[in-house]
Amino acid sequence: MSKTIFITGASTGIGRAAAELFAAKGWNVAATMRNPEGSKGYNDQSRVRTYRLDVTDRVSIEAAVEDAIRDFGRIDAVLNNAGYGAVGIFEASTPEQVRRQFETNVYGTMQVIQALLPHFRGSREGTIINVTSVGGKVTFPLYSLYHGSKWALEGFSESLHYELKPLGINVKIIEPGVIKTDFYSRSEDFINSGELPEYQDYVKVVRSSMQSAGANGVAPEAVAASIYKAATDRSNRLRYAVGSPAPWLLPLRKLLPERWFFAIVRANVEKK
Ligand SMILES: NC(=O)c1ccc[n+]([C@@H]2O[C@H](COP(=O)([O-])OP(=O)(O)OC[C@H]3O[C@@H](n4cnc5c(N)ncnc54)[C@H](OP(=O)(O)O)[C@@H]3O)[C@@H](O)[C@H]2O)c1
């Protein structure tokens, strides 16, 4: 019997690439997204069903989980991928922007996991794959809210992996580097204010280097391949860093004294 993966944020980028890859490997895919009406068709349409799910809307999560279990019989893995970056000047952010960042990236993931746990617990197996980021372990300027959310997700996921292991449920963390997706354009919530001139030179320099990194990022298919590995390698490995700079920057963060590491970040993102 084919296995089934439940994916959040499957409309574009990493989520979509994962949906295509799992379907190509013979899995059923419950591809969830905020606007299924607007989604492009998948290569292997016979294996993919789309469902409406907004991770900030608990009713939509419960409905999508129930419908997917009814349609496919069971769910073997969940990919918590939906997320975006609130990027810019922290002082300029509104309470709504702060709340939405955490409601999407952190509480959204938690709500999806809670909706699926009774199912996984009942079958005494299941794999939870959370997409964090290289930015869940290291930081760059102007990403304070995003990093806050992804660092939270890292700690949450790591602790959860102990608790669920005795129930036969695995937790996996995917840490992408810079990936060429809508993350740096359509999906970004850019936070700035004309009333804060003191920040503007810095914002201009850092934003331009981050945007150009995004434009030269790694293809989302590379992340999809790591997600597939995490879902199928049957190992106890928790973390999968994928896409430059994640696989070398994360070890460097552990090796170098903090101020050397910060100097490297500055030299790379604060250059004019
Ligand atoms: N790109 C990178 O460099 C990078 C690096 C590290 C980690 N990541 C992480 O990778 C994940 C996927 O991002 P991506 O790079 O593939 O960017 P993307 O193409 O912008 O995809 C983001 C996806 O999240 C969905 N989403 C946003 N808010 C949602 C909500 N409230 N409910 C349900 N879905 C929601 C979007 O849906 P809509 O189509 O409806 O907007 C879209 O499907 C994110 O968690 C991101 O933080 C990305």
pLDDT at 269 over 90: yes
Determine the structural domain holding residue 198 and report its residue range: 4-269
Q: How many structural domains are present in the chain?
A: 1
pLDDT at 243: 98
pLDDT at 57 over 80: yes
Pair 9, 81: CB distance under 8 Å: yes
pLDDT at 191: 98
Is-catalytic flag, 146?
Answer: yes
pLDDT at 38: 86
pLDDT at 40: 86
pLDDT at 204: 96
pLDDT digits (tens, 9 = 90+) for 109-165: 999 999 999 999 999 999 999 999 999 999 999 999 999 999 999 999 999 999 999
Helix (H) or strand (E) holding 224: helix 220-232
Pair 104, 82: CB distance under 8 Å: yes
Please give the Cα distance from 185 to 271 (Å, whole number).
21
**CATH code for the domain in which residue 141 is found:** 3.40.50.720
Residue having the nearest C-alpha atom to atom 37 of ligand 1: 9
Instruction: State the residue for tokens 């292991």.
Output: 165
Confidence class for position 45, pLDDT limits 50, 70, 90: confident
Please give the Cα distance from 58 to 67 (Å, whole number).
14
Determine the residue type at 219: A
Residue of 42, 51, 143, 146 marked active site? 146
Question: What tokens were used for 213?
Answer: 């990194």
Judge if the upstream peptide bond of residue 176 is cis by omega within 30 degrees of 0: no
Q: How many residues does the structure list for the chain?
A: 272
Atom of ligand 1 nearest to the CA of 84: 47
Nearest to 55 by CA among 118, 120, 100, 16: 100
Please give the Cα distance from 65 to 43 (Å, whole number).
23
pLDDT at 212: 93
Could you tell me the strand order of the sheet in which 77-80 lies?
48-52, 28-33, 4-7, 77-80, 126-131, 169-176, 239-242
pLDDT at 39: 86
pLDDT at 272 over 90: no
Residues with CB under 6 A from ligand 1: 8-9, 11-15, 33-35, 54-56, 81-84, 104, 108, 131, 133, 176, 178-179, 181-183, 187, 217, 220
pLDDT at 259 over 90: yes
Residue having the nearest C-alpha atom to atom 41 of ligand 1: 187
pLDDT at 48 over 80: yes
DSSP 108-171: HHHHHHHHHHHHHHHHT-EEEEEE--GGGTS--TT-HHHHHHHHHHHHHHHHHHHHHGGGTEEE
pLDDT digits (tens, 9 = 90+) for 61-94: 999 999 999 999 999 999 999 999 999 999 999 9
Distance in Å from the first CA to the final CA of the chain: 56
pLDDT digits (tens, 9 = 90+) for 202-255: 999 999 999 999 999 999 999 999 999 999 999 999 999 999 999 999 999 999
